[in-house]
Amino acid sequence: MKPYGNLKLLVPIYDGRATKFDYNNLDKTEDLGKVFPSYGADQEVPPGSYVVIGYVSQFSKHAQKHKDADGKWVKGQDHIWKFTPFIQWVIVVGISKKHIRGFTT
């Protein structure tokens, strides 16, 4: 895990390579830690991995702010849409042994 400022971002990473599981039933699974082995808290997704990612997302719309002639911030007329995904978990389903963009495993 890499720190983000004073925060440590933790996303659970599971190893799904040796577990037989019907991925169509992920929405019915309450605790993935009981189904799949977990990677350690200090480990990252291996380079060249094929993964399934669970996330929730948020769409938001806001008006762009700009400074007027007096130097004060005012809302503009143009609205900007923003998409923000929040990753909940990652399941590694395969790791390539080929040379992928400079990485070898």
Question: Is residue 97 scored above 70 in pLDDT?
Answer: yes
Domains of the chain, by residue range, sit at 3-56+86-95
Question: Is residue 40 scored above 80 in pLDDT?
Answer: yes
Helix (H, G, I), strand (E, B) or coil at 14: strand
pTM: 0.66
Distance CA 64, CA 82 (A): 12
Q: Which residues pair with 84 in a beta bridge?
A: 58
The confidence score (pLDDT) of residue 1 equals 46
Per-residue confidence band for 101, with pLDDT thresholds at 50, 70 and 90? low
- pLDDT, averaged across the chain: 81
Residue 56 near residue 86, CB atoms below 8 Å? yes
Range with top average pLDDT, 3-7, 59-63, 83-87? 83-87
